[in-house]
Structure 1
Amino acid sequence: MTVIGLTGGIASGKTTVANYLAQLGAKIIDADAVAREVVTPGSPALREIVRAFGPGVLHTDKTLNRKKLAAIVFNDPSALQKLNGITHPRITEIVLNKINAFKRNSNSPQDMLLLMAPLLIEVGLHKLVDKVWVVHIDAGTQLQRVMERDNLTKDEALKRINAQLPESHRLKYAHEIIDNSGSWENTRKQIEKLWFKYTGCVSQ
């Protein structure tokens, strides 16, 4: 089994790429889903978050108010670092357990396990995978997509983008780059080429 870490900046199209790879036969671990799992009501991580940032980051039903928490951490690097210190170790532990479980159940070297993680590099999850694939888009396209997708002003969108790892740094870790700046047809061809390269299987 080959374990691929799939990452990319905000609005790069990681989910679209991952969904297509799933259609081709890849198994998927979604690190965002794991991140939501570690902050469920009553979890140790959520209790720590409330202690660190106050009860105002909760909805009335005691679930995490992600929008309020994001407003705090995206404007304060030290707050973001504090949040990451609470959540990242727990996310890493769960992801590693999931990878090991997939490996135990795999009976073919052609199998592909895809770890989709926006913070693959930042959290250190790239150390758990065999290869890193980066979904890349140019800066102008990224800004436009973030504004449209999240209904943000230009300044708000730039804050979100600039809070992430610079694209140039992310690309240094890439074994493969999928350019998603253009048409879906162009992206799809790149994915299918990589699928064949890593599994030896031809897409249907």
Structure 2
Amino acid sequence: MSVYGLTGGIGAGKSTVANMFQESGIPVVLADDVGREVASKGSDGLAEIVRSFGPDVLDSNGELDRRKLGTLIFNDPDRRRELEGILHPRVRDRSRELFSQLEHAGNQIVVYESALLYETQRHTEMRGVILVTASEEQRIARVRSRDGSEEEAVRQRIKAQMDEEEKRGLADYIIENNGDLQALKREVDSLIEQLLGR
């Protein structure tokens, strides 16, 4: 079985592309979902987060309050690295378990969608990396219409991410998402044919 990484900056459209893969019958493992699972109520991941960051990161139901945790790590690179040290190994191990289950179920191809594929070095484990990209203006417009963010806030988030040109240089496949959904679907369908060797 081949596992392909799917990544892209904020507003590039990687979630839309992930959905298109799923609609085509190709399983997609979402790093964000795995991250939520390994820090869910009752997990050892959550227990370690509480040991490191204190009980204030829990909500009234005893679940992780991601907003509170985000506030703690936002401007503190050391605290962010501490959190990553707790979460990333657990996400890696759990996603490998999921890949194994999908392989045993007879899947030829699996897509692993992660915004931090390069930053976590997971790209080295992939058969290939698919980068979804779009112009900065397109990305800003999408994020603003999606969650109402201010333009400058979106620009700062883009700036905080790994450089787009650096990602391009590391990618095996690039999906340009500057057009409409039909154009994107054609590009994804063409890539799926290529990956399946048809």
Q: Could you state the TM-score of these two structures normalised by the residue count of structure 1? A: 0.88
Q: Give a deviation string over 1:58-114, Cα, whole Å, max 9, x none.
A: 21111111122223323222222111111000000111122122223327xxx2211
Q: Which of 112, 120, 124 is the equivalent residue of 2:121?
A: 124
Q: Which of 140, 144, 165 is the equivalent residue of 1:147?
A: 144
- Give the direction of change, closer, same or farther, for the CA distance of 1:143–1:131 in structure 2 (3 Å limit): same
Paired with 2:186 and 2:33, the residues of 1 have a C-alpha distance of: 28
Shift of 1:11: 2.1
1:27 maps to which residue? 27
- Give the direction of change, closer, same or farther, for the CA distance of 1:160–1:84 in structure 2 (3 Å limit): same
- Equivalences for residues 42-57 of structure 1 within 5 A: 42-57=42-57
Q: Which secondary structure state, in structure 2, belongs to the residue aligned with residue 170 of structure 1?
A: helix
Q: Which runs of 5+ in 1 are unaligned?
A: none
Q: Which secondary structure state, in structure 2, belongs to the residue aligned with residue 120 of structure 1?
A: coil
Q: Name which of structure 1's ranges 12-21 and 67-76 shifts more when overlaid on structure 2.
A: 67-76
1:135 maps to which residue? 132
| Alpha carbons 1:6, 1:132 under 8 Å: kept | yes
- Equivalences for residues 64-83 of structure 1 within 5 A: 64-83=64-83
Paired with 1:143 and 1:163, the residues of 2 have a C-alpha distance of: 14
Percentage identity across aligned positions? Answer: 35
- Equivalences for residues 1-204 of structure 1 within 5 A: 1-106=1-106, 111-201=108-198
Runs of 4+ in 1 over 6 A off after TM superposition: none
Q: Which runs of 5+ in 2 are unaligned?
A: none
- Give the direction of change, closer, same or farther, for the CA distance of 1:78–1:3 in structure 2 (3 Å limit): same
Letter in 1 for 2:47: R
Q: Which secondary structure state, in structure 2, belongs to the residue aligned with residue 165 of structure 1?
A: coil
Letter in 1 for 2:28: I
Q: Give a deviation string over 1:134-190, Cα, whole Å, max 9, x none.
A: 111111222222233222223432333233222222222210001112211211111
- Give the direction of change, closer, same or farther, for the CA distance of 1:96–1:13 in structure 2 (3 Å limit): same
Shift of 1:25: 1.7
Paired with 1:147 and 1:76, the residues of 2 have a C-alpha distance of: 26
Paired with 2:45 and 2:143, the residues of 1 have a C-alpha distance of: 28
Q: Which secondary structure state, in structure 1, belongs to the residue aligned with residue 124 of structure 2?
A: helix
| Alpha carbons 1:74, 1:159 under 8 Å: kept | no
Q: Which secondary structure state, in structure 2, belongs to the residue aligned with residue 152 of structure 1?
A: coil
Letter in 2 for 1:81: R
- Give the direction of change, closer, same or farther, for the CA distance of 1:48–1:125 in structure 2 (3 Å limit): same
Shift of 1:199: 1.1
Paired with 2:160 and 2:53, the residues of 1 have a C-alpha distance of: 19
Letter in 1 for 2:53: F
Letter in 2 for 1:36: R
